[in-house]
Amino acid sequence: MAIELKMPALSPTMEKGTLAKWLVKPGDAVKPGDLLAEIETDKATMEFEAVDEGRVASLVVREGTADVLVGTVIALLGESGGVDPEPVLEEAEPAIAGPVEAAPMASDPAPAPPRPAPEAAAPRTRLSPGERVKVSPLALRIAEAKGIDLDGIKGTGPNGRIVRADLGIGPLVAPRPDPVPQAIIAGAAPVIAPPPAGVPVETVKLSSMRKTIARRLTESKQAIPHFYLTARCNLDPLLKLRGELNASLAQRGIKLSVNDMLIKALALALVEVPDANVQFGGEELHRFGRVDISMAVAIEGGLITPVIKGADTLSLSAIATQAKALAAKAREGKLTPEDYQGGTTSISNLGMFGIDEMVPVINPPQALILGVGAAVEQPWKVDGAICLATIVALTASFDHRAIDGAVAARFMAALRESIESPMLLLC
């Protein structure tokens, strides 16, 4: 008996994915642990492993097919002994709700016509009047809606068919539509305009990742009441400490970045102000006992946020090591769900691109994200005198449903203290 291989759920939130590439072909023998396919999700491209032993009987879904629902049959696995390989499905419907049957390729002799998908129908315990007497579809719908018995009615339509006029129903009047609630109108999907005519344009299909980014950030701005606070910090003490630490860590092959130290400062500020390390839960407020920081990493085609777990308890060198490894895995498309799931807050740093200040969008369901701009030399008051100092603008976006302004202000003050008194990062 053939074993159905189904589109796996590679993360708790995955509903559909793209079958990016098959790593096997019909007739191949496989055993548990063998790689079968590459699946592209909204987060990363991951490998799909076999859990049973057998021989690939057919590849049901063609590689490159997008929006394949979790649970959809994508291949059939037969017994290890001789299985006649079947062809790959030429055309697969995206976002299919049930198993797909393999169809013969165009080159096969005398292909059978495709069978139409069965229509979903409610269970019926008796034959409808339309199955016992000749009746038009319209008359049948009216009779069923009004409870009219068709057995005693003589039809006046073609070949004695019962038509609407035979039911004694007056002329049809279109019902007046109910007014659409204003809330529904306000939440209607925006109209997507085509590109202007006459302008050279290249149109490319959005990847699963880009579509997910668009959906989630649209929902974030529509559903989460953002408010923003900015603090400008003197970065010179932190830069001095970083230079000293890197001189000591060089022999261990570790190099601290400014971002590594900002992650630690962010974690300590959330420990200092735990009311900012929260998540809105409808009728509840979730307050976290650990700081897991989602770190925004730009990759080809989008953005992903691997998580540094327990950043409040990690040393600077441990944060630097983890951040470097996660960023490399992200750019290579090798992150696992465990690498990017969760996170209690986020950080996004565009300082390396020379951006003076950024106002980030909250990464739902989190309630806080910190945006980091570039370090810029400017006049600043230091020890009672005006001199040049390296200043960075930090802007945090807060979910006002979960965090009030006073709490946010205390958090920003704690963050500034951690940065301008960087020895705290070593405690």
Residues known to be catalytic: 400
CA 84 – CA 315 distance, rounded (Å): 58
Query: What SS3 state is found at 158?
Result: helix
How far apart are alpha carbons 168 and 174 in whole angstroms? 18
203 and 194 Cβ atoms separated by less than 8 Å: no
Q: CA–CA distance from 128 to each of 30, 165, 225, 297 (Å)?
A: 51, 20, 53, 60
Q: Are 46 and 329 in contact (CB under 8 A)?
A: no
Round to whole Å and give the CA distance between 204 and 207.
9
DSSP letter assigned to residue 164: G
Q: Would you tell me the crossing angle of helices 258-272 and 405-420 to the nearest 10 degrees? A: 130
- According to DSSP H, which parts of 250-315 are helical? 258-272
- The Cα 260–Cα 372 span in angstroms is 12
CB 48, CB 104: distance < 8 Å: no
Continuous segment of H or E residues that includes residue 388: strand 385-399
Residue with tokens 């750019």: 331
End-to-end C-alpha distance for the chain, whole angstroms: 62
Q: Please list, in sequence order, all residues whose beta carbon lies within 8 angstroms of the beta carbon of residue 406, skipping any fewer than 6 positions away.
A: none
Residue type, 48: F
